[in-house]
Chains A and B, each alone.
Chain A
Amino acid sequence: MGGTESIENKLKDAVKDLFLKKKVDIVIGFEKGSLPLTSRPCFIRSSDMAERLVWNASCTNNLAVYLPRFFQKVPRAKKSGTPPPVVGIVAKGCDARSVVGLIKEKQILKENVVIIGMSCQGVIDRRKIESFIDGSFIAGGRQEPGGILEITTGVGDKKKIKVSDVLAESCIECQYPHVENADVRIDGESITASDDGYKAIKAFEEKSPEERWQYFTDEISRCIRCYACRQACPNCYCKVCFAEQTLPRWIGPGDELSDVMIYHIGRIFHQAGRCVECNACVRACPVGIDLRLFTRKLCMDVKELFGYIPGLSIEELPPLLRFELNDNNDFITTG
């Protein structure tokens, strides 16, 4: 069975190979994090650095968020005409779809990105693990072959948890776990695509407007406005976000609840037809706001109204750049 370890070795070899063949200048991947059971982004610049790479169920970040900065002009950049680097990116299914989105939106150059397509077995949700270990904390942990996590709790207990039991919601509901457009493919086991038909969203729609509003209010009122959801999102590359614009100032900087709501409505709405449901915003949120319930609503609508799924093809125009004369007109009030 191809456990994560063998995949990890394959990945290292593949990256080394890319460097040896001089096909990439830099590879964005994951290395071991500083806390137990975490991995974090790292930037591999030579073949001997490739040993740092890891691949396991804690490789949660969407690495595509780092791509645009390689192709942007930074304030202190040298004025020389050095061409942009060729960037390799270790990509899960969702990451790869983000890459497609970025290429489509002309934030990165297609020919300068090498997608290293991983076979994704899903990533873990730390909050779920914490609920498994009865309020203790994760003092240590590692991933064993066969999708088992061995966790040492704060009181010294050892516990074995199946990765599949603590998968992030986004992975359970993942519709496209496979990297379709990989330049280099690392084969192995992967989770199966599921199509739950946006069950959670539909269930929420069933509730009364008052209940829905109450839930939205409760969630948003916890927001501390750190804007981590925005910063972690590969789609949020705007130089100046509407949240920080001063002329006009859309939202005030204070703790006015309606301002916070408008920030979230605005941010989520800007993802319409672009969100690849990678869950980066949810993971980045330090207070655990259930953003997913709201972002997915737009994903669902875009799919149902316009039949569009973001990140699948580079050529297809995004839904809000296209229109048909016979688009849905049912919502229009007639005089």
Chain B
Amino acid sequence: MEEKKENNEPKIVAFLCNWCSYAGADLAGVSRFQYPANIRVIRIPCSGRINPLFIVKALQEGADGVLVSGCHPGDCHYISGNLAARRKFALLKNFLSYLGIEQDRVQFSWVSASEGNIFASLIKKVVDNIKKLPANKKLVRKRVGVQEYGWY
């Protein structure tokens, strides 16, 4: 039922932590590392700020993918924000794929402020992964009510 059409220009929401990944993205830009323009960056104070609902909501609002990136484990500006977050992320990723949402739809990574090149290659990888998926149709706001769905 899903059309298997290639998803050429996916929209990806990237939540980047202020202290590492956002700075990493900055560095990638300053250093002129090329990466695909599919990401829409949202700066967050720490990957620990991520409420799992942010990710789910991004998918609902039509994002084809979500990337959350923070400091490397142990390097968190707030000491342990990313470690606490990692447990949530592990559960969320498993849970969403259990419900039938593609594994690569939601991705997590660690990028430090000095890793501009890694940031660029990460984005390339993430975009490539998501391009292989069909356009996000599953959790997207459909404007279809439960009633239209058939069950009364």
Contacts and interface: CB of A to CB of B under 8 A. Distances in A.
Do A and B touch directly, given a CB cutoff of 8 Å in the complex? Answer: yes
B122 A334 contact: yes
A254 B141 CA distance: 12
A306 interface: yes
B139 interface: yes
B57 A250 contact: yes
Contacts of A250: 53, 57
Given A209-B100, A210-B100, A260 B140 contact: no
A211 interface: yes
A325 interface: yes
Sorting the interface of chain B by its residue count into under 10, 10 to 19, 20 to 34 or 35 or more gives: 35 or more
19 contacts: A209-B102, A210-B100, A214-B100, A221-B151, A255-B147, A256-B145, A258-B141, A259-B60, A260-B146, A262-B139, A301-B94, A305-B90, A319-B87, A320-B87, A323-B84, A325-B74, A332-B110, A334-B122, A335-B111
B133 to A, nearest CB: 10
Interface string B87-120: 1111111111111111000011111000100111
Nearest to B138: A213
A323 B91 CA distance: 13
A214 B123 CA distance: 30
A334 to B, nearest CB: 6
The interface residues of chain B, by DSSP majority, are classed as: helix
Q: DSSP class of A's interface residues: helix, strand, loop or mixed?
A: helix
Nearest to B94: A301
Given A262-B57, A323-B84, A327-B87, A335 B2 contact: no
B79 to A, nearest CB: 11
Contacts, number: 142
Contact of A298 (B91, B97, B111): B91
Contacts of A301: 90-91, 94-95
Contact of A333 (B57, B88, B107): B107
Interface stretch (A56-64, A86-94, A264-272): A264-272
B140 A258 contact: yes
Given A209-B101, A210-B100, A320-B84, A258 B139 contact: yes
B73 interface: yes
Nearest to A323: B83
A98 to B, nearest CB: 20
A79 B10 CA distance: 58
Contacts of B92: 269
Interface in A261-309: 261-262, 265-266, 268-269, 272, 294, 297-298, 301-302, 305-306
Contact of A320 (B67, B88, B98): B88
